Amino acid sequence: MNNKAKFVLVGCGRIATVHVAGYKDREDAELYGVYDKKKSVAVAFANKHGINKVYDSYEELLDDKDVVGIELLVPHNLHAEMAITALKAKKHVAVQKPMAMNIEECDRMIAAAKENGVILKVSENFVHYPPYIKLKELIRNGEIGKVQGIRYKMNNSALNSINTPGVKLRARGVDSAKELPQTGWRVDPLSWVWRLNDTLSGGGPLIFDDGYHKFSLFYDLFGAVEKVNAWIDETTVVGGITQDCPAVVMWKYADKKLYGVWDITSSSEMYIESKYYTCDERMEITGSRGVLWLTRCTATLLPEVAPVIMYRDGKVTEFWVEANDWQDSFINSTHNFIDAVLHGAEPILSGECGREVLRFALAAIESSNKGETIYLDRYEDKAVPKKKGFLKLLFGK
C-alpha cells in the first residue's frame, strides 16, 4: 500500500520541469498528479515525467481528498484567487513567486491559510541554493566580521532565454565567436510573453518578476528593510513592449546601519553559459574583516571560479559547494514544502515573509515612479490594474 503524501503541480509550463526532481526518491511524498488548463499539455507532461494522474479541472483536483498539497505554477494574476480557493479546500499551497499582485491579495491569502489551518509557502528557489546557504553560514559564523554592505549584480543576456551571441557576433565579422555554441534552454514564447504584460504579471520581467528572487535574498539575509530608492529605466523589446532595465535599486535595513545596492543590466551580445535562463548573478558581501562573493546561481558565467569565495586576512579561500546547479535550489525548495506539510513546520518564505518581500519590490517600483525615497512602513498599496490584452499593449489600441 502506498502511504506517501500526494502532491499535485498546477500549471505545466517550462518552470514545472524543475519542480519534478524534488519529489524523486522521497519515501514520504510523491508527485501524484498534474493539472493544466490545456489538458493536452498536462497529458504530455505527465507522460514525460511518469506522473499517474491528470485532472480534467481545478475543481476536480480540489475535490480529491487524497491530495494534501499543490504547487501553483500559473501567471501572477491568478495566484491569489487560485491559492485562496485551494486553501479553503484544506490544501496546503506553495505558490510561485511573486506571491501576488499587491499587498491586499497577500493578506487575503494569509488569512485563508490561517482560517483553514493549512500552510502557505512562496516557492522561491534562490534562498534554497546550496552555495547561498554556505555563504549565510560563513556570515553567521563571523568569518568576515561584522557585515558592512551588500552589492548585487544581475546581468541578463537574452529575454527569451535561448541565446546565440555567437551568431550575432559572427554576422559582424568577429572571428573569436566562431566556437560559441547556442546556450540556454528553450522556452515556448506563449509561456513567457504574458510576463511583458504588467496587468498579468504585476510589474516588469526583471525587477518585479525575476527580481522577486533577489528581493527574497536581501530580506532573508538581514531582515526587514526600512527604506528604498530605485531608478528603473526601460529598453524597447518590440512595439510598445519594454523590459525594465537598466536599473539600480538601493535600500537600508531597519534598525541597523547597513545598506545594499543591486544593479540590473542586459547585454545581448554577452555569452553566458547556462542550461537554464541566460541570466547571471554575482553577490558581494563586505565585512569588517573580509569579503564574500557568490558567483553564480541561474547560469554559469564563470565556470572555473568557485561558487563561493572568501577573502580574509590576506588569503583567498574557495568553497566548491558540490550541489551548485540551479536545479538543486528547486529540489531544496520542494523538500522544504514537503517537510513543512508533513511536520507542521513553518516554511522558509512563509506567506507573511512573502508579503514583506512583495512590499519591498513594490516600494522599489514606487520609488522609481515617484523619484523619491519610499519608506516601507508608509507604502500605500495600489489596486490591481485592469487586465489588458497583449495586442492592446503591443499596439496601444
Domain with CATH 3.30.360.10 in the chain: 128-325+359-378
pLDDT (0 to 100) of residue 191? 63
- The whole-angstrom separation of Cα 217 and Cα 212 is 9
Distance (Å, rounded) from C-alpha 192 to C-alpha 201?
Answer: 10
What pLDDT does 177 receive?
Answer: 62
Q: Which residue has the cell 539575509?
A: 221
Cα dihedral 324, 327, 328, 332 sign: positive
Residue 391: the pLDDT is: 47
Instruction: Report helix, strand or coil for 110.
Output: helix
Nine cell digits for residue 263: 544593479
Hey, how many other C-beta atoms are within 10 angstroms of the C-beta on 190? 8
Return the pLDDT at 14.
87
- Please write the tens of the pLDDT for every residue from 105-147: 999 999 999 999 999 999 999 999 999 999 999 999 999 999 9
d(CA 118, CA 87): 7
Question: What pLDDT shows up at residue 157?
Answer: 78
Give the C-alpha separation, 357 to 213, whole Å. Answer: 9
pLDDT at 176: 64
Per-residue confidence (pLDDT) for residue 167, from 0 to 100 = 58
Mean pLDDT for the chain? Answer: 90
Please indicate, yes or no, whether the overall pTM of this predicted structure exceeds 0.85. yes
pLDDT tens readout for residues 161-213: 556 655 556 566 666 666 677 778 877 666 666 676 677 767 788 899 999 99
- CATH architecture assignment, domain 128-325+359-378: 2-Layer Sandwich (3.30)
Q: Which class is domain 5-123+329-345?
A: alpha beta
Low-confidence ranges of the chain (pLDDT < 70): 1, 158-179, 188-194, 196-197, 201, 238-240, 388-397
Three-state DSSP state, 181: coil
Q: Three cell numbers at 264?
A: 540590473
Residue ranges of the chain assigned to CATH 3.40.50.720: 5-123+329-345
- 308's enclosing H/E stretch is strand 308-312
